[in-house]
Amino acid sequence: MSKFLLIILILVLFTPFIFGETPDEPEIVEAEQEIEEPAEQVQVVRIDIGPINNPDTLWGIFLQNPDTETAVDILIKLGNIGRRNRTVIDNLNNYLMGINLLFKSGSSVNYTVVSACISAIMELGDNSSFPALFSVIYAGYPEVIASEAHGALEVIPGNLHQFLLNVIRNNPPDEKFAAFRTGLNTRKLTVSQQGQLAEVALEQGLAVTDEDNIDLTAMRYAAVLSLTSLRWTRANALAIRHYYRVQSDYLQNAVSKERFIQAITCLGAVGNSDAALVLGLQLGLINARTESTGAFDPDITMALVQALGLIGYNAAFDHLLYVSNLSYPEDIQAAAREAVARLKW
């Protein structure tokens, strides 16, 4: 090979390296990297409200969502300086109602602020706060929050009895039942007022025939237990209606025997001569079936005998006396003899 051809071959093979080029290698372009700045930390600043005594100024700061401690301090201060101030009272009532609606809808709320609001409302002592405090009770808060609302209802002056009656008569089922439970658990109501609440609760529960309405059904049964313990005789007619409703349900296996016995016991506690005729008829049917088949339910039979003894109406005499002629166990026989002895002539 001539020197000339050798030089040409070397130039072809090594030209890229001689002139610093790499034709088959992609050009590397350095991309500018965006460096994210760290998010600026929001500093929660404690606000000193000590020198501030203007309710409007305090409320304005509260609405700016300050830190929890500042919010609590504002609410406590408003409770101390806001008595008989309609604007302050309305602001706190509306705020508590609103926060309760948020909580019921599933939103998270600051329990500490809710508790402070209840305390402030209690300090203000205005009965226009009954609805806001009551809404805490049925909103589903933890028991400690609900108890604070109960306590506030206890100490705020006003006709709590009438307020609860109105709720039971007019509000949705869940609120009706909550109002009834509130009335039973408060020491502010007299026995007579609790009896009136239970009577209205039973009336409302009987007004619907839909057993799927859980709140009204539960309220009806709770009212029956309350009327029984109070021996509230004004509810006699309602107790008879309840008895027939439960008897029908029991025969269709729609309610437990315990519910039927509670209905019988309620008639014994609150019933008059009308109730005695109803129960006496039932005992007469049981006596006839026992005589012909020997089959009877001892619990129901005992409940009927004892209820008739409590009422003491002498129209039940024949049914009670006939118990001794049948094959009932001794405890039912003894209860029948005692019932006969208590009849009024």
pLDDT tens-digit map of 207-241: 987 666 899 999 999 999 999 999 999 999 999 99
Please tell me the predicted confidence (pLDDT) of residue 14: 42
Type of residue found at 240 = I
Domain range summary for the chain, segments of one domain joined by +: 53-158
Bridge partners, 344 (sequence order): 313
Statement: residue 36 has pLDDT above 60: no
Is residue 50 very low, low, confident or very high in pLDDT (cuts 50, 70, 90)?
Answer: confident
- Tell me, what's the pLDDT at 330? 97
pLDDT higher than 70, residue 28: no
Task: Return the pLDDT at 9.
Answer: 41
Q: How far is CA 224 from the centre of its chain?
A: 19
Local confidence band at 277 (pLDDT 50, 70, 90 cut-offs)? very high
Give me the pLDDT at residue 256, please. Answer: 97
Best CA proximity match to 135, nearest among 91, 169, 102: 102
Report residue 345 as tokens: 């002539």
Range with the poorest average pLDDT among 14-23, 45-54, 309-318, 327-336:
14-23
Q: Rounded to whole angstroms, how far apart are CA atoms 88 and 96?
A: 12
Report residue 344: phi and psi, to 5°. Answer: -100, 130
**Across 299-326, average pLDDT:** 96
The pLDDT of 248-275, averaged and rounded, is 96
pLDDT tens, residue by residue, 157-181: 999 999 999 999 999 999 999 999 9
What whole-number percentage of the chain has pLDDT above 90? Answer: 81
Rounded distance between C-alpha atoms, residue 337 and residue 181, angstroms: 38
Per DSSP, the chain holds a count of helices (H) and strands (E) of: 17, 0
pLDDT of residue 209: 78
Give residue-wise pLDDT tens across range 60-101.
Answer: 999 998 899 999 999 999 999 999 999 999 999 999 999 999
Inform me whether the pLDDT recorded for 22 exceeds 70.
no
Give the whole-angstrom CA distance, residue 96 versus residue 133: 8
Q: Count other Cβ atoms within 10 Å, centred on residue 233.
A: 14
Share of the chain above pLDDT 70, in %: 86
Angle subtended at Cα 209 by Cα 205 and Cα 213, rounded to the nearest 5 degrees: 65
pLDDT at 8: 46
Average pLDDT, the chain: 88
Residue 56: its H or E element? helix 55-62
Give whole-number Cα distances, 100 to 113, 115, 168, in Å: 12, 12, 20
pLDDT at 49: 72
- At 341 the pLDDT is 95
Using the predicted structure, report yes or no on whether residue 5 has a pLDDT greater than 60: no
Report how far residue 343's alpha carbon sits from residue 273's, in angstroms, rounded to the nearest whole number: 11
| Strand blocks (E) in the chain | none
